[in-house]
Amino acid sequence: MEPRSVEEVLARAEQAEAEKLRLITVHKDLELEFDLGNLLAIDRNPPTGLRQRNKSELETRLLGLARDNVQLLINQLWQLPTERVEEAVVAKLPEPSLRLPREKPLPKPRPLTRWQQFAQLKGIRPRKKTSLVWDETSKQWRRRWGYQRARDDTKEWLIEVPGGADPNEDQFAKRLQAKKERVAKNELNRLRNIARAHKVQLPSQGGMHPTGYQSRDELGKAMQVAKLSTASVGRFQERLPKEKPPRGPGKKRQFQPNIGDFATEKKNQLELIRVMNSKKPRMDVTKATNKQMREEDREEAAKKRKIAKGGKRKGRPPGPGAKGKGGPPGPGSKRKGGPPGLGGKKGQRQGGKRRK
């Protein structure tokens, strides 16, 4: 054989390779973008080749374009690592890269239940239990809990009366009652856990749980409820020296019925007309005395302040007659309302409305 140069051999090898790949190579101006996880390919080349005059050839040209694009996608897919799964060649697809919107919102993380918190704290881990337990009485394997469970104490037909129990008590009913209470307690705890997860207030608690940052009203309400929560429902609870009795629930204003006592109604209305007609002004003695007292106190306080200021500036001790309350009593009576005769319509209230 004639010795051939290295270049010729290499060139021939390249040609052979190109020939082999000729059937599957496609030339494109812009490379396609592949998303193999979705089996997606995006071709960004402008489709100028398709815009020819004759409409009838559009389909064939579309077919040609599609064939080229699919060939490129298939080339990419055949590059993926493959494995054999039950006589089929399977390619491992990567994660889809095109992000698409979700159909439902993200699941919210929920807080742990009371038991889960406790278990975490103590380091308790769930133990794997068998699902069936041997039941001696029925001599068969029964489930641990649920329908026809192994040790169901409500289903016993003979119960010995325990030593200290009342002989007339129904032991079967007692067991059924205990079971009902257990079920109710479980349900309550489940609902409490849900309420805690949703941060919803339980209707039974009524917003009373100590946070340390409670308002005056909340504290007052809590105190009232605490006072009522005694065996005698708050009747014998002591009160602080100046604490007022609590305003109980109920009507704060009493209204007379519309059609009631005709005689009293007539009397009241006549009295009203008489008062309106009379020329003399009426005086509410208690109100008058209170107003007077207030004015006097104000005057005295103003004078005191002036003297104190003056004293500070000139360095003089306060003058004679330090105006205490021991001065001569003002006109009119002070504490005990007016002369008992003129009580006024407001009745016999002691001292009237004393201002604070």
Partner 1 sequence: MAELDRVIKPKTKRTKRFLEKREPKLNENVKNAMLIRGGNANATITQVLRDMYALKKPYSVLYKKKNITRPFEDQTSLEFFSKKSDCSLFMFGSHNKKRPNNLIVGRMYDYHVLDMIELGIEKFVSLKDIKNSKCPEGTKPMLIFAGDAFDVSEDYRRLKSLLTDFFRGPTVPNIRLAGLEYVLHFTALDGKIYFRTYKLLLKKSGCRTPRIELEEMGPSLDLIMRRTYLASDDLYKLSMKLPKALKPKKKKNISHDTFGTTFGRIHMQKQDLSKLQTRKMKGLKKRPTEKLIDNQENGSEKNKRRKID
Sequence-separated (6 or more) residues with CB below 8 Å from residue 143: 131, 132, 133, 149, 150
| Amino acid sitting at position 330 | G
51 binds partner 1 (CB under 8 A): yes
Tokens of 126: 């769930």
Q: Choose between 29 and 160: whose C-beta lies nearer to partner 1.
A: 29
Which x/- pattern over 256-285 shows residues binding partner 1 (rule: CB under 8 A)? Answer: ------------------------------
Tokens of 349: 């209230």
91 binds partner 1 (CB under 8 A): yes
Contact 72, 62 (CB under 8 A): no
Q: Interacting stretch for partner 1, rule CB under 8 A, among 69-77, 218-226, 251-259, 323-331?
A: 69-77
Longest dimension (CA), the chain: 153
Q: Interacting stretch for partner 1, rule CB under 8 A, among 60-68, 238-246, 270-278, 289-297?
A: 60-68
Tokens 């494109």 sit at which residue? 28
Tokens of 167: 């002989």
Least spacing, CB of residue 120 vs partner 1, in Å: 17
Tokens of 39: 């089996």
214 binds partner 1 (CB under 8 A): no
Which x/- pattern over 169-198 shows residues binding partner 1 (rule: CB under 8 A)? Answer: ---------------------xx-xx--xx
Question: How many residues form the binding site for partner 1 (CB under 8 A)?
Answer: 60
Q: How far apart are CA 126 and CA 129, in angstroms?
A: 9
Q: Choose between 194 and 322: whose C-beta lies nearer to partner 1.
A: 194
Contact 332, 292 (CB under 8 A): yes
Q: Which of 19, 29, 166, 243 binds partner 1 (CB under 8 A)?
A: 19
Tokens of 272: 């009203």
Sequence-separated (6 or more) residues with CB below 8 Å from residue 149: 142, 143
Sequence-separated (6 or more) residues with CB below 8 Å from residue 340: 348
Q: Which of 6, 89, 121, 263 binds partner 1 (CB under 8 A)?
A: 89
40 binds partner 1 (CB under 8 A): yes
38 binds partner 1 (CB under 8 A): yes
Least spacing, CB of residue 113 vs partner 1, in Å: 8
Contact 139, 132 (CB under 8 A): no
90 binds partner 1 (CB under 8 A): yes
- Shortest CA distance to 323 belongs to which of 300, 305, 306, 302? 300
Q: How far apart are CA 345 and CA 282, in angstroms?
A: 11
Q: Choose between 91 and 302: whose C-beta lies nearer to partner 1.
A: 91
Residues 104-123 that bind partner 1 (CB under 8 A): 104-107, 110
Least spacing, CB of residue 101 vs partner 1, in Å: 4
| Contacting positions for partner 1 (CB under 8 A) | 19-24, 37-47, 50-51, 59, 62-63, 65-67, 69-71, 73-75, 77-78, 82-83, 85, 88-93, 96, 98-107, 110, 190-191, 193-194, 197-198
